[in-house]
Amino acid sequence: MNRKSIFYSIVGLIILLLILFINYRKQVQEHEYETIETTADNDGIENGIHVNTGLVDAAGLPLVIAHCTGCHSAKLITQNRLSKDGWREAIKWMQETQNLWDLGEDEEAVIAYLSKNYAPTAKGRRDVLNTIEWYTLED
């Protein structure tokens, strides 16, 4: 067992305990909230991707999920490619106009995650046509 898997085991245990605790707390205190089925949720990692969000599993993922997916879909992240400055600008814009909170000490980690895993690739002034699905055009 390498260090990474030990880490994930501990993390998993923490989540489990937390769920049990929150559920317990909810029964006691949170009468105004409805329980929502979570069967469609998959908080696991498959092929390096966090299943629920489609985000790359890498350092900073939990922070990104917590700070970025509260208001908008993770798809807004996964479809974008920005530089470090670009992601910083995006966060600033959301803080100035979209009610995003101060990320505090998490900001650098969030930006590091985004700029590492969702960095731009040079594509020139016009890309070649790729992902062509060939089919026979009938007469």
* 23 part of the interface to another protein, by CB under 8 A: yes
Which residues lie closer than 8 Å to 110 by C-beta, 6 or more apart?
60, 63, 64, 67, 68, 91, 103
Residue 19 CB neighbours (<10 A)? 11
Smallest distance from another protein to CB 6, Å: 15
d(CA 26, CA 34): 10
- The residue count for binding another protein (CB under 8 A) is 64
Our CB check for another protein shows the closer of 2 and 134 to be: 134
**Residues at the interface with another protein (CB under 8 A):** 11, 14-15, 18-19, 22-23, 26, 30, 32-38, 40-41, 43, 52, 62-63, 65-67, 69-73, 75-76, 79-83, 86, 89-90, 93, 97-99, 101, 103-106, 120, 122-127, 129, 132-137, 139
